[in-house]
Every structure is written in C-alpha cells, then in structure tokens.
C-alpha cells in the first residue's frame, strides 16, 4: 500500500514538474512568436486629417520594429465612436489596435450612451503625441492680444463669436473652458468640421476660434489669421512670438489634442509590452520627430500606465467642462 502511495506521489510530482515547465515557457513563446501576421490600426477619422497623418507615421516605423506591416484602417463616424467600438469588440490578440484620442475622453460625457466603455474595453499601449490649439481671430478685428480679446468680448452686446468643428469637439470645449474662466459673453458657432469653420473665420462670418494648430498655422503664417495665444505649456518654436494663454494672464490653462494607441481589453501583457517598446522606438526616429514638429506636435513617449493615468485625468477634466457647458452630441 505504501509502495502504491509513493508511486502515485511520484506521478503527481512528475506531472506538476511538466506543467510548471510548460507554463514557464509559455510567456517567452508568445513573446518570440508574436506577431506572425500584419496588424490593423483603426483610425476613427477620415484619411488626411491630423489623426490619420500621425497614425501612418508611427504605423510604418512600428511595423519595422515588429517585423510585420501595420495597416491603417479608417473607420469614420460618430466623432470616432464607430472605430472605437470596432476595436473594443475585436479579439484581444494584439492584431487589432486603435488610435485613442482626446475625443474618446470627451465622448464619455458627451454621449448619453456609447457602444463601448472608454476605460474597461481598452488596454493602453502608450501615448504618441500632443498638439496644442491656437486662439485665432480674423485680422480685420481690432484685437491684437488676449487682453484685447477679453475687452472686446466684454463690450460686445451680441457676444463675441467663436467657431468650432462641431459641438463637443476639443476646439469647441477649449472655447467653453475659456468662457468658464472669464465669464465672458461668447457665442459658440458650430460647424461640421474644422475646414468650413476656418473658411468662415477667414471670410469674417465668425470672429474667433480655438483651432488645432496644424489647421490654422498656414493662415497665420500668411497673415490671413492673427494668432493671439497657444494653449500649450510652452511657446511653439514655429510661432515664437505667440504667447501661451498662461503667459497671457490665465495660469494653468492648457488644452492639447492628443493621440495614443490602445488594444482591446484582455490583450496579454507581454504583447502590450512589445507594442509599447515598438511605439517608443518609433518616437525616437528623427524623421518622425521632425514631421510631428512640423505639425506643432510634441512626442509623448512613456509606459502603458502613463497613458492610463493620463486618460483618467482627461476623463475627469472634460466631464466637468461638458457638464458646465451643456454640450450635447449632435
């Protein structure tokens, strides 16, 4: 009987040792074998926009790092919610990725119902870059500084108009943040996209806009728009004479559009680490840094946890602004 017990015990020990060996080798196997096919990077906006340009820049370089191509897939609709939902429902195997942006943190409060959870349904990979907004006005106005802008709004009986690319966009809510800080008489004029908004600003149909820097920069350089301030912490080397809003009397005022990469929740940690390493290597590339700098963007390398904390802070901040502004999805 004792001999049988010892035999049974030895068999159990052997099985446990074998299982332990298999488990110990499982993670390295995933790490060395993945990826075995091309990846897909979903962008929630049309080709040619800032999000798409940034995505294609890093996708190409990350593909080199991973040894597989990364195909950018534009899935537009509902202020990027369509693309987000597609990736949130995709298999958690690292082959479907999403360009997570400031819009997703705004949408969390802007929409009564989303087809995905902006926190629980995604695993952060890392931030890519941040792009500030510019407070610009039509040069026909007697406004040459933020102080002039404040005085003009105070003396306007109808309200100083500010355009946006749509209700609930970061451009709109930048104006709402300024309105909250100042209590000024400002009237929001929403458009269906940044291009028509800028067009009417150039034509004088609206007076001002907190526009994304890449969109307004050419017009500022050409003298067709006047830049009063930039919404980043520091001045841009491309616009050294344009002060920050903090310098203009509004300390702590910072708004930047930003881009990151996320994977579906449940994606193995070893794959997230591989992706994060590839992303950070891409952001070191001099060509990518130069191209992003031309877009007035600064790279934002870091860890998945850095992005997780950043997203949490953005969700909180924009929730407060959306609530105060009364903005609704249109």
Pair 318, 109: CB distance under 8 Å: yes
72 CB burial (10 A radius; 0-12, 13-18, 19+) = middle
β 96-101/70-74 pair status? unpaired
Q: Which are the contacts of 184, defined by CB distance < 8 A and separation ≥ 6?
A: 150, 153, 154, 160, 178
pLDDT tens-place string over residues 179-202 = 989 999 999 999 877 888 999 999
Element (H, E) at 105: helix 102-110
Q: 282 in the Ramachandran plot: left (φ > 0), alpha (ψ -120 to 50) or beta?
A: alpha
Q: How many angstroms separate the CA atoms of 180 and 200, rounded?
A: 25
> Residue 317 burial by CB count (10 A; 0-12/13-18/19+): exposed, middle or buried?
middle
d(CA 265, CA 252): 33
Q: How many helices and strands (H and E) does the chain possess?
A: 11, 10
pLDDT of residue 97: 98
Which residues have C-beta within 8 Å of that of residue 192, sequence separation ≥ 6?
Answer: 165, 166
> Residue 28 has what pLDDT?
47
DSSP 8-state class, residue 243: P
Number of Cβ within 10 Å of residue 115's Cβ equals: 14
Distance CA 317, CA 330 (A): 21
Identify the pLDDT of residue 27.
45
- In this structure, the number of other CB atoms found within 10 A of the CB of residue 201 comes to 26
Asked if 213 and 295 count as a contact pair (C-beta separation under 8 A), the reply is yes
Q: Which residues of 258-274 are buried (b: 16+ CB within 10 A; e: fewer)?
A: bbbbbbbeebbebbbeb
Percent of the chain with pLDDT over 70: 90
Cα 239-246-312 angle, rounded to 5 deg: 100
Q: Average pLDDT of 231-250? A: 93
Q: Collapsing DSSP states into helix, strand and coil, what is residue 266?
A: coil
**Mean pLDDT within 165-174:** 87
Give CA–CA dist 163/327, Å, rounded: 14
- Identify which of 280, 244, 243 has the alpha carbon closest to the alpha carbon of residue 261: 280
- Residue 8's pLDDT band, with cuts at 50, 70 and 90, is low
Matching residue, tokens 């190409």: 60
262-308 confidence digits (pLDDT tens): 999 999 999 999 999 999 999 999 999 999 988 889 999 999 999 99
How many Cα neighbours within 13 Å face the side chain of 45? 19
Q: What is the pLDDT of residues 14-28, one digit of tens each?
A: 544 554 544 444 444
For the segment 113-160, what is each residue's pLDDT rounded down to a tens digit?
999 999 999 999 999 999 999 999 999 999 999 999 999 999 988 889
Examine the pLDDT at 13 and tell me if it is beyond 80: no
């Amino acid at each position: 009987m004792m001999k049988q017990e010892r035999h049974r015990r030895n068999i159990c020990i052997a099985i446990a040792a074998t299982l332990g060996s298999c488990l110990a080798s499982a993670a390295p196997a995933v790490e060395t074998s993945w990826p075995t096919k091309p990846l897909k990077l979903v962008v929630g906006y049309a080709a040619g926009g800032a999000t798409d340009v940034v995505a294609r820049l890093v996708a190409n370089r990350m593909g080199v790092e991973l040894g597989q191509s990364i195909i950018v897939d534009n899935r537009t609709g509902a202020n990027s919610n369509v693309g987000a939902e597609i990736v949130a429902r995709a298999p958690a195997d690292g082959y479907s990725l999403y360009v997570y942006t400031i819009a997703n943190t705004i949408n969390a409060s802007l929409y009564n119902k989303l087809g995905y959870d902006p926190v629980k349904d995604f695993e952060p990979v890392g931030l890519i870059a941040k792009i500030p907004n510019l407070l610009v006005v039509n040069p026909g106005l007697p406004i040459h500084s933020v102080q002039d802008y404040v005085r003009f709004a105070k003396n306007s009986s109808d309200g100083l108009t500010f355009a946006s690319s749509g209700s609930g966009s970061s451009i709109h809510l930048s104006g709402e943040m300024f309105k909250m800080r100042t209590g000024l008489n400002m009237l929001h004029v929403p458009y269906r996209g940044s291009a028509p908004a800028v067009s009417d600003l150039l034509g004088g149909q609206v007076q001002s806009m907190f526009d994304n820097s890449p969109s307004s920069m050419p017009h500022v350089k050409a003298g067709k728009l006047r830049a009063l301030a930039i919404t980043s912490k520091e001045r841009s080397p491309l616009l050294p004479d344009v002060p920050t809003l903090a310098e203009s009397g509004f300390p702590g005022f910072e708004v930047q559009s930003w881009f990151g990469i996320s994977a579906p929740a449940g994606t193995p940690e070893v794959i997230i680490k591989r992706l994060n390493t590839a992303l950070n290597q891409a952001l070191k590339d001099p060509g990518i840094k130069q191209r992003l700098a031309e877009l007035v963007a600064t790279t934002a390398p870091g860890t998945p946890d850095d992005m997780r904390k950043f997203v949490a802070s953005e969700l909180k901040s924009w929730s407060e602004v959306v609530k105060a502004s009364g903005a609704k999805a249109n």
